[in-house]
A and B are shown apart, each in its own frame.
Chain A
Amino acid sequence: MLSKRVIACLDVRDGKLAKSVKFVDTKDIGDPVAKAREYYEDGLDELVFYDITASSDKRNIMLDVVEAVADQVFIPLSVGGGVRSVVDATDLRLAGAEKINVNSAAVARPELINECAEAIGNQNVVLSMDIQRVGVNPEQPSGYEIVINGGRTATGKDALAWAIEGERRGAGELVINSIDADGTKDGYEIALTAMIAEAVRVPVIASGGAGVPEHLYDVLTQGSADAALVASMVHYGDYKVSELKQYLHDEGLKIRIC
């Protein structure tokens, strides 16, 4: 049986670690390579780097970060943020990324998912979705809407329909990031995660809102998620990756314990 995965997400801006709260007021919290290595040694299952660098002329810094991490960290490494083309995806892969996350650019041009899947294989394409609760209405029958630009721009797209379209176009995995829950530490958005996880056949990663270990347990069980993504709860030292995994293991989930 597959183990449930615990994934840590590191937001990187200009080559430095940042953590966003509700996607604004990011503040620097350290060196991404050292942090990645620390989590790897503590038993992390997978690592995500999200590049939030604003200016495009500083993008190459990210390739250096990915390369430095790939030299020392031997678990799957996923990278996203600003991936607009197959060239971007291929550059990151050559630097050492296993999986590539597409987000806003895929909303603007959905064919990007097909193109990346063709170039690097479905299993390496992750569709990352920023989602906000809007209530059931004719345009968003699921009650959730896709937003872009770090949550600032609504797109009108229904979240469930976009998840299903993403899978059909070749995304091998979906990240469900709740804008409402992000940074709150009140727990993942369970209903949203379960709704999407039960509608697709690709693995689903829950993101946004984790504050205590119970939140991971809830989204991996009631939320039907295959993996739980954590950020601030481990970045600030509130919990260690190994503690989270031991807790989930003790609660009876199938978890990799090193």
Chain B
Amino acid sequence: MTLILDYEAGNLASVRRACAHVGLQAQYCADPDQLLQAERIIFPGVGAAGSAMRSLKQRGLDQALREVIQRGTPVLGICLGMQVSLTHSQENDTPTLNIIPGQVRRFAFDRKDLKIPHMGWNEVRVLQAHPVLAGIQPGDEFYFVHSYFPQPISNDAVLAVTDYEGEFACAVGKDNYIGTQFHPEKSAQVGLRLLANFAAWDGQC
């Protein structure tokens, strides 16, 4: 069973719809015991880092997530769901799950023409081949909406990068965990391809 982590009663319908479109029937889940039984897990982003971490802790989902990731269950984090997998986020000065050691930082530009949030379509350049990123061609673009970006300590965790006045990590991963800053569920055919890859992934790299 594939579960979509529903930790803040957020609007997750677009993720579920896109999964259904590629044949992945996913259910919402806010229960740690159920999470431990999952075959694979999608961890979408809702709201801000501070409130997301509070909700996860209140429900005991933070511990359950660490446990399933240790067990080898394939997990896909999206946007904020990816950001809380690092060690700390500048957003609300929040300690996060520490699955991928590193920081989440806010974009800061001197140039006034660079808008924050980074919103729209941008190129994803794959640095390390990964089963979930299979089929992404040079020049393929994905849809982004975010003001913060991940900065893993180890380059080994950086799977793909995107340029917005300098490169930032747009896909991070470690073992059976992968997270994207972009929204595959809003990224047309290439995004659906990524979700289909995740649906078939056994968690091995």
Docked pose: A125 CA to B28 CA in angstroms: 25
A202 contact set on B, CB distance < 8 A: 115
Question: Which listed segment binds B: A1-9, A148-156, A176-184?
Answer: A1-9
Docked pose: A224 CA to B115 CA in angstroms: 12
Whether, in the assembled complex, A75 has its beta carbon less than 8 Å from a beta carbon of chain B, the answer is yes
Contacts A1-B163, A201-B115 given; does A98 touch B122 at CB 8 Å? no
A256 contact set on B, CB distance < 8 A: 121, 141
- Please tell me the size bucket of the interface on A: 20 to 34
Q: Chain A's interface: helix, strand, loop or mixed, by majority?
A: loop
Interchain CB contact under 8 A, A98 and B186: yes
A36 to chain B, nearest CB (A): 13
Question: Which listed segment binds A: B9-17, B84-92, B172-180, B197-205?
Answer: B9-17
Whether, in the assembled complex, A96 has its beta carbon less than 8 Å from a beta carbon of chain B, the answer is yes
B145 contact set on A, CB distance < 8 A: 123
Interchain CB contact under 8 A, B112 and A201: yes
Whether, in the assembled complex, A93 has its beta carbon less than 8 Å from a beta carbon of chain B, the answer is yes
Question: Which listed segment binds A: B64-72, B97-105, B127-135, B188-196?
Answer: B188-196
Contacts A74-B187, A74-B188, A94-B13 given; does A201 touch B119 at CB 8 Å? no
Q: Chain B's interface: helix, strand, loop or mixed, by majority?
A: mixed
Interchain CB contact under 8 A, B188 and A96: no
Whether, in the assembled complex, A213 has its beta carbon less than 8 Å from a beta carbon of chain B, the answer is no
Whether, in the assembled complex, A223 has its beta carbon less than 8 Å from a beta carbon of chain B, the answer is no
Contact bitstring B8-31, A, C-beta under 8 A = 1, else 0: 000101100110010000000000
Docked pose: A3 CA to B122 CA in angstroms: 6
Interchain CB contact under 8 A, A3 and B14: no
Interchain CB contact under 8 A, B189 and A3: no
A3 contact set on B, CB distance < 8 A: 120-122, 141
Whether, in the assembled complex, A45 has its beta carbon less than 8 Å from a beta carbon of chain B, the answer is yes
Interchain CB contact under 8 A, B188 and A75: yes
A94 contact set on B, CB distance < 8 A: 11, 13
A-B contact pairs, 11 of them (CB 8 A): A3-B120, A45-B121, A71-B21, A75-B186, A76-B143, A76-B186, A96-B13, A123-B117, A172-B119, A203-B120, A226-B115
B residues contacting A by CB (< 8 A) are 11, 13-14, 17-18, 21, 47, 112-113, 115-123, 139, 141, 143, 145, 163-164, 185-189, 191-192
Closest 6 CB pairs of A and B: A256-B141, A3-B121, A256-B121, A2-B120, A123-B145, A93-B11
